Amino acid sequence: MAEVLLSVDRLTMRFGGLLAVNAVSFEVRAGDITALIGPNGAGKTTVFNCITGFYKPTGGRIIMHRPNGGDLELAGMPGFLINQRAKVARTFQNIRLFAGMTVLENLMVAQHNTVMPNVARGLLAVFGLGNFRHLEAAAIEKARHWLDRVGLIERADEPAGSLPYGAQRRLEIARAMCTDPRILCLDEPAAGLNPRESDELSALLMSIRDDGCAVLLIEHDMGVVMRISDHVIVLDHGVGLADGTPTEIKANKHVIAAYLGEEDPEDIAEIVA
Amino acid sequence: MIKALKDAGISALIALGIFGAMVGLPSVVGEGGKLSLDPQPWTVAIIVAVVFIGRLGMVLWQANRKPRVKAKSAAHSKYTISNVAGPLLLIVAVVLPMAGDRYLIDVGVLVMTYVMLGWGLNIVVGLAGLLDLGYVAFYAVGAYSYALLAQTFGLGFWTCLPLAGLLAAFWGMLLGFPVLRLRGDYLAIVTLAFGEIIRVVLLNWTQLTGGPNGISGIPRPTLFGLKFTLGDGPDTFAGFFHLTPSVTYRVAFLYYVIFGLALLTNWVSSRLRRLPLGRAWEALREDEIACRALGINVTTTKLTAFAIGACFGGFAGAFFATRQAFISPESFTFIESAIVLAVVVLGGLGSQIGVALAAIVMIGGGEVFRDFNEYRMLIFGLALVVVMVVRPRGLVSGRTPSVSLGKGVHIAADMMSQGHG
């Protein structure tokens, strides 16, 4: 079994009187596509926001195991540091691109910390000092590589806001990948895509996994989830319901009950199809 | 043909705008030292006609000469306002003091100061999308820094200039810290209050700032040690170059100082826009949450925007102090912030050439219409309303990409976010 990259231990998130996530534990392993599923309002996005530093969890631990042995506690760490140091990248349920900037610029912004390691270096670059040119050229190369992989190289100089929906989704993934993540967190990447686009997305995600980046995704499209996931975690009402391979999850009674409210073989067949 | 006529018409209009005021309305000193305007409609008409015919001829000549090349690069050959107006304005700005007209140069200095302030504020508002209503505070910090350093330690203008910029940048960061979490209206209110606090402190801290009496006798700048006084000693400009002493030299020198400072502001901010820092500012304007998810430290990014914007405000302030030789809190009221912000918004957020045009229209226009007395503000207000109705995103809107694989395509303003404060 592959090494554990991220372990979430009894994660709890409370908003006032609302317990959104209640002691959820799971693990993300290197080289896996891990899917986080569950009915609407189950707390999936909240878990994501805790992992990526947008929320400070009220309880529990999120540990990133780094290859050099150092463990990093992500709970309560500011979001930008989680990306910088723990190498966790994410996309958003409602796409958040820099709409007024070009496709290429979006990917360049993602490499901000590589091109400008600190403010002093950033200011020195005004006078052409430092190895800025070199770093910038390398960043453009990497952006070109990812544009090729998501099939957007032809549209590199167009504003991101003018791309069709499916292309925006792919661009957001490419942008996240430009930060060199070890875990890529995707919040409903297949939402609003047509069947052909979903297939392309599945292929892209599997190629990202094969390159050694673990993928953690929230998804409602069960076709995509069951086809590409190595590991599925089910949440319902903020509680972890099941944890296993896609085949195990398909057969799990609790999961079926959570999705349908009762056991009905015909509807189950519809969902897992 | 119609297209060529239209093109020539636009050039003629630009010429009218530029030369109408400069050549058409020279002021003459009449009896008893009374200043009066001496309108020259025919000279202007001739210049405009020459520009019109010249432009028409040029366009027609180009169209007939190489039609194939033109068809090929149709997307390229479009004359953008920055390609045409930029160099034109630069040439006009360089030769302006040579006209030797004291009033004209004075107006030029005033316009140039606002161009510089506009470019400085553009970093904060236009690029980073942080609405700052208290920009005048940094202008004041710069002015008082120079005045106090010069009075207390006897330092010269060129020593104090970077110090004034640094101090203003420091205050920019001080303002930045508490407002990091604020957005939109809330940010605007706090920055507005900050501007007022600085002014009230200057007004009441009488031991240091002289309170409402201000600070007078602020030393003038020198050119490598040469003074611009009316004597003809070897240490004065006129004496050194064996010229007849004249006030015009000093005014022209001040003009070139502010011109140089403004160019510096433009150069630094245009360059920053193409660097990672500037890209991060623009990304911040587009979507702050996405920035955080990409590992960009939003705090530092915002603070650098505030600090660098404030730094240029400080430079402009030091210049203001040395030009006036007298400063008091009265010069740093909210209306100044409002005018600078209006220049930026009217010019088009993030557009360098737009801000310059807007400053010329607003400040220069305000001077030209001085004869209309009470109707001046009416005309001015009406003009602003018309511009905002016709071009809601400012005179020059949109942006050019900071990096491109092929040819950079201009991005329309409706694609861009205006920032959330």
Please report the domains of chain A, with CATH numbers, ordered by start residue: 1-87+182-273 (3.40.50.300), 96-180 (3.40.50.300)
Asked if the model's pLDDT at residue B374 lies above 90, the reply is no
| Same domain assignment for residues B202 and B320 | yes
Collect the ranges in chain A with pLDDT lower than 70.
Answer: 1, 262-273
What value does the mean pLDDT take over residues B30-41? 77
Measured between CA atoms, how close is A249 to chain B, in angstroms?
A: 31
Q: Which of B338, B363, B386 is where one domain is finished?
A: B338
Mention every residue, 6+ apart, whose C-beta is less than 8 A from residue B151.
Answer: B215, B217, B218
| Same domain assignment for residues B275 and B329 | yes
Chain A within 8 Å of B399 (Cβ-Cβ)?
Answer: yes
The verdict on residue B283 lying in a domain is: yes
> Per-residue DSSP letters for A57-114?
-SEEEEEEEPTTS-EEE-TT--HHHHHHTS-EEE--SS----TTSBHHHHHHHHTHHH
Q: Are B138 and B195 in contact (CB under 8 A)?
A: no
The verdict on residue B403 lying in a domain is: no
What value does the mean pLDDT take over residues B300-309? 94
B279 and A83: CB-CB below 8 Å? Answer: no
Higher pLDDT, B113 or B11: B113
Dump pLDDT digits (tens) for B202-225: 999 998 888 888 898 888 888 887
pLDDT of residue B41: 82
pLDDT of residue B76: 41
Asked if the model's pLDDT at residue B231 lies above 80, the reply is no
The verdict on residue B50 lying in a domain is: yes
**What is the pLDDT confidence band of residue B32, given thresholds at 50, 70 and 90?**
confident
Token pair of A231 as six digits:
């590991």
What value does the mean pLDDT take over residues B50-59? 85
Asked if the model's pLDDT at residue B371 lies above 80, the reply is no
Residues of chain B found within 8 Å of residue A90, distances taken between Cβ atoms: 293
Asked if the model's pLDDT at residue B80 lies above 70, the reply is no
Rounded mean pLDDT of chain B?
85
What value does the mean pLDDT take over residues B18-43? 78
| Same domain assignment for residues B145 and B220 | yes
The verdict on residue B381 lying in a domain is: no
Q: How many domains does chain B have?
A: 2
| Same domain assignment for residues B154 and B194 | yes
Out of B275, B304, B408, the one facing A157 most closely (by C-beta) is: B408
B404 and A102: CB-CB below 8 Å? Answer: yes
Dump pLDDT digits (tens) for B327-361: 999 999 998 999 999 999 888 888 889 999 999 98
pLDDT of residue B72: 34
The verdict on residue B183 lying in a domain is: yes
pLDDT of residue A264: 55
Dump pLDDT digits (tens) for B234-273: 777 777 777 777 777 888 889 999 999 999 999 999 999 9
Q: How far is CA A233 from CA A8, A9, A24, A181, A248, in A?
A: 12, 14, 10, 21, 11
pLDDT of residue B410: 79
| Same domain assignment for residues B139 and B271 | yes
| Same domain assignment for residues B65 and B170 | no
**What is the pLDDT confidence band of residue B68, given thresholds at 50, 70 and 90?**
very low
| Angle at CA of residue B110, ends B107 and B113, nearest 5° | 150
Residue at A150: amino acid letter: V
What is the spatial distance between Cα A38 and Cα A271, in angstroms, rounded to a whole number? Answer: 12
Q: Which of B338, B361, B381 is where one domain is finished?
A: B338
Domain span at residue B315 reads 101-338
Chain A within 8 Å of B311 (Cβ-Cβ)?
Answer: no
Measured between CA atoms, how close is A120 to chain B, in angstroms?
A: 10
| Same domain assignment for residues B51 and B117 | no
Higher pLDDT, B100 or A44: A44
The verdict on residue B417 lying in a domain is: no
What is the spatial distance between Cα B147 and Cα B214, in angstroms, rounded to a whole number? Answer: 10
| Same domain assignment for residues B15 and B157 | no
The verdict on residue B308 lying in a domain is: yes
| Same domain assignment for residues B45 and B119 | no
Residues of chain B found within 8 Å of residue A156, distances taken between Cβ atoms: 404-406
pLDDT of residue A159: 92
| Same domain assignment for residues B152 and B245 | yes
| Same domain assignment for residues B17 and B140 | no
Q: Which of B72, B93, B111 is where one domain is finished?
A: B72
- Of all residues in chain B, the one with the smallest CA distance to A115 is B276
The verdict on residue B390 lying in a domain is: no
| Same domain assignment for residues B47 and B177 | no
A112 and B401: CB-CB below 8 Å? Answer: no
Asked if the model's pLDDT at residue B290 lies above 60, the reply is yes
